[in-house]
Structure 1
Amino acid sequence: MKHRNLMTAVLGIMLMLAGLWAMKQLPVQENSWLRAICGMLTALGCGWFGHGLAGLVQNRILQPYPEIRQQMAIEAADERNIAVAARAKARAYDVMTFVFGALMVAFVFMQVDLVPIVMLVCTYLFVEITGIWYRIRYEREM
């Protein structure tokens, strides 16, 4: 686990630096899709670095306390905690459905360009179709 966290942090730094370097090398254009990709690389690198670093710090802090580490592992695998997390995700999914719908309608009324609206609609449909697919899959399993 320690090596995975270290590799995640190193990969995050590399992606972040690659994104920043590429953004610096690009000619200054306000609406360049290459600049957007560089920004996404930088953001992804920052996220991976933060995740890896948090794991490394957690391992370092819990190293002298094996009983706390074992208690945390038990709590992570506890059925009640798993059920609570699944219920919270389900509630967030229900809320997200209405929030995304309202946001799409608001974008239309604000007369936002067509491309962001189409991207939002495609993302919305992807999430909803994924929810339907998993519901059918789980109903067949049970």
Structure 2
Amino acid sequence: MNKPIRVILLIMGLGLLAAGAVFMKMGMFEEIKALPGVMIGVGAGLFGHSLGALIQAGTLKRHPEDARKLQIEQTDERNVAISREAKSRAFDVMGYVYAALMLALVMMGAELMVVLLLVAAYLITYGVMIYELNRLHKEM
């Protein structure tokens, strides 16, 4: 991502963060009480991510030898394989965690909509896995 886009995202994040804080302080959006909190969270995330990316880009620009080393580390086959293996194991564990959480919520008598949203997320996750599995099998 180039610098102007990072700066725009930084400003948008700061704006969302400030607007959410103002809305929360003024007590606006009574019908959607979570909106100011969501604005603060998304704004803080955008601001932090963009600021970190700008700082990293500036640092790597001043130290090209470190930029080259970082690029080599990120594209090294061994590191890529390790990263994919870690993601694979995390995905396997996530399936059990989702299932246990859904069961616990049902047993606690949680709202049906909450449980159904979690079930939808679970099914979407496995749907994406099946789609990607089929796509990769055809590709290879």
Query: Which TM class, normalised by the smaller chain length?
Result: 0.7 to 0.9
For residues 117 and 10 of structure 2, the distance between their equivalents in structure 1, rounded to whole angstroms, comes to: 31
Query: Matched residues in 2 for 1:4 and 1:73: separation?
Result: 21
Report the count of equivalent residues.
Answer: 139
State TM-score, norm by structure 1: 0.85
Q: Trace 1:92-111 onto structure 2 (pairs within 5 A).
A: 92-111=90-109
List per-residue Cα deviations over 1:41-89 (Å, max 9, x = no partner): 3212211111111112223333431101111112112222212111111
Q: Contact 2:29/2:35 (CA < 8 Å) preserved in 1?
A: no
Q: How far, CA to CA, are the matches of 2:22 and 2:132 in structure 1?
A: 40
Structure 1 distance, partners of 2:35, 2:117, is 16
Q: Which residue does the alignment assign to 1:2?
A: 3
The gaps in structure 2 that reach 5 residues or longer are none
Contact 2:23/2:29 (8 A) holds in 1:
no
- Structure 1 unaligned spans of 5+: none
| RMSD (CA atoms) | 2.0
**Structure 2: how far apart are the matches of 1:45 and 1:75?**
31
Aligned-residue offset at 1:20 = 3.3
Corresponding residue to 1:52 among 50, 72, 75: 50
- Alpha-carbon offset, residue 26 of structure 1: 5.1
Residue equivalent to 1:130 = 128
Residues 11-22 of structure 1 mapped to structure 2, 5 A cutoff:
11-22=12-23
Paired residue type of 1:44 = V
The two structures have a TM-score, normalised by structure 2, of 0.86
Structure 1: how far apart are the matches of 2:10 and 2:29?
A: 30
Q: Percent identity?
A: 36
Which residue identity does 1:7 align to in structure 2?
A: I
User: Residues 117 and 26 from structure 1, CA distance in 2 versus in 1: closer, same or farther, beyond 3 angstroms?
Assistant: same
Whole-angstrom distance in 1 between the partners of 2:61 and 2:138: 43
